[in-house]
């Protein structure tokens, strides 16, 4: 968790020396006892759970986008439409076809999920996307790819896992391996987009910083849209634990 835990102020010996213009008794009460008494009152009242919300934690409650059982809350965009399924609590494409879109559109949000790529496979997470056009351009795509496969030995930075596809490369490689569950977290807040791969922050992008991409990537300017899972060609990727919270 980012931020510092709530606690009582600790002052150095130098900071608590007697000073002719300071009433040391009043200073002690105001600077040390009051915060502790406030904390004690919260604990007694049951209003403190042991942690304090930081700016990074503020927002609506988390909600599951995938219920682990069926495609409720999702729709397939493109043909064929019967190309996604749920098996043993995992969401995956079954054959090449349309991409999977949320029913609802989102503007500012944080999304977390776990994914597992088959060897040599490729997929992506669509953000703020419409249901028309080339989704990685009319919206945005966070790339998911087995970058350690020999088949992708010549990838450019913007093609690697966690990249804003064709726009921004990750600043470091946090990909582990195909055949293993990995975690992805994306925060879209206004014009700022942040990506964590396996708990490592790899992209921190101001979406206004790419004026040369305005024509090819109009999706960078979109304030809201659908969230989607790319179908690159059959059961090459699985998703689980997909959840989201909206931000102010």
Digitized pLDDT (tens) for each residue of the chain, 248 residues in all: 444 444 433 334 344 334 444 454 554 444 554 454 444 454 444 433 333 334 455 678 999 999 999 999 999 999 999 999 999 999 999 999 999 999 999 999 999 999 999 999 999 999 999 999 999 999 999 999 999 999 999 999 999 999 999 999 999 999 999 999 999 999 999 999 999 999 999 999 999 999 999 999 999 999 999 999 999 976 789 999 999 999 99
Q: 169 lies in which domain range? A: 59-246
- Are residues 45 and 71 both part of a single domain? no
pTM of the predicted structure, to 2 decimals: 0.77
User: In sequence order, which residues have a C-beta less than 8 Å from that of residue 127 and are 6 or more positions away?
Assistant: 139, 140, 141, 142, 186, 188, 193, 225, 227
Alpha-carbon torsion, ordered 51, 53, 57, 60, to 10 deg:
110
- The count of domains in the chain is 2
The count of other CB atoms within 10 Å of the CB of residue 146 is 22
- Are residues 108 and 12 both part of a single domain? no
Is there a contact between 48 and 42 (Cβ–Cβ < 8 Å)? yes
- Mapped onto helix, strand or coil, the DSSP state of residue 124 is strand
- Are residues 65 and 42 both part of a single domain? no
Domain edge (last residue) among 54, 71, 89 = 54
- Are residues 153 and 140 both part of a single domain? yes
- Are residues 22 and 85 both part of a single domain? no
- Are residues 49 and 64 both part of a single domain? no
- Are residues 80 and 202 both part of a single domain? yes
- Are residues 90 and 172 both part of a single domain? yes
């Amino acid at each position: 968790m980012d931020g510092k835990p709530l606690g009582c102020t600790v002052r150095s010996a130098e900071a608590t020396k007697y000073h002719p213009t300071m009433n040391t008794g009043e200073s002690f009460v105001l600077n040390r006892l009051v915060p502790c008494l406030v904390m004690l009152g919260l604990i007694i009242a049951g209003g403190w759970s042991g942690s304090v919300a930081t700016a990074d934690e503020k927002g609506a409650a988390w909600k599951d986008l995938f219920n682990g059982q069926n495609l409720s809350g999702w729709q397939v965009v493109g043909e064929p439409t019967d190309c996604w399924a749920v098996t043993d609590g995992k969401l995956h494409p079954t054959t090449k076809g349309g991409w999977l879109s949320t029913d609802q559109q989102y503007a500012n949000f944080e999304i977390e999920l776990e994914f597992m790529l088959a060897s040599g496979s490729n997929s992506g997470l669509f953000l703020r996307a419409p249901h028309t056009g080339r989704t990685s351009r009319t919206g945005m795509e966070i790339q998911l790819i087995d970058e350690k496969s020999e088949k992708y030995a010549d990838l450019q930075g913007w093609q690697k896992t966690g990249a804003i596809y064709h726009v921004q490369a990750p600043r470091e490689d946090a990909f582990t391996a195909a055949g293993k569950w990995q975690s992805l977290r994306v925060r879209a807040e206004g014009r700022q987009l942040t990506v964590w791969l396996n708990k490592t922050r790899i992209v921190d992008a101001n979406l206004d910083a790419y004026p040369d991409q305005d024509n090819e990537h109009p999706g960078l300017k979109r304030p809201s849209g659908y969230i989607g899972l790319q179908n690159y060609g059959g059961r090459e990727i699985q998703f689980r634990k997909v959840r989201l919270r909206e931000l102010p």
